């Protein structure tokens, strides 16, 4: 069975730690996750289109994010 967003593998301790975090730390974690997701997408673009330079990869990423293309 695949996990869904409503499923969680968090322990009560993990939930408690998250609830006690200050908002700035939560934002920092979210930003780190966003950076990792973007890097993974860039890596996927490079695998699909190995001839692209860094600028072209970034342009492709922006096009995907903005227009789903």
Number of domains in the chain: 1
Q: pLDDT tens, 24-69?
A: 999 999 999 999 999 999 999 999 999 999 999 999 999 999 999 8
Under 8 Å between Cβ of 49 and 60: yes
Is 2 within a domain? no
Distance, CA of 30 to CA of 48 (rounded, Å): 27
Is 60 within a domain? yes
Q: Tally DSSP H helices, then E strands, for the chain.
A: 3, 0
Is 58 within a domain? yes
Q: pLDDT tens, 12-27?
A: 999 999 999 999 999 9
Q: Which domain holds residue 60?
A: 12-67
Q: Is the pLDDT of residue 4 over 80?
A: no
């Amino acid at each position: 069975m695949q996990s869904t967003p409503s499923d969680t593998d968090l322990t009560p301790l993990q939930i408690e730690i998250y609830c006690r975090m200050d908002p700035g730390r939560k934002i920092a974690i979210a930003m780190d996750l966003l950076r990792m997701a973007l890097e993974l997408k860039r890596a996927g673009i490079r695998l699909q289109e190995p001839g692209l330079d860094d600028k072209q990869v970034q342009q492709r990423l922006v096009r995907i994010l903005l227009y789903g293309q």
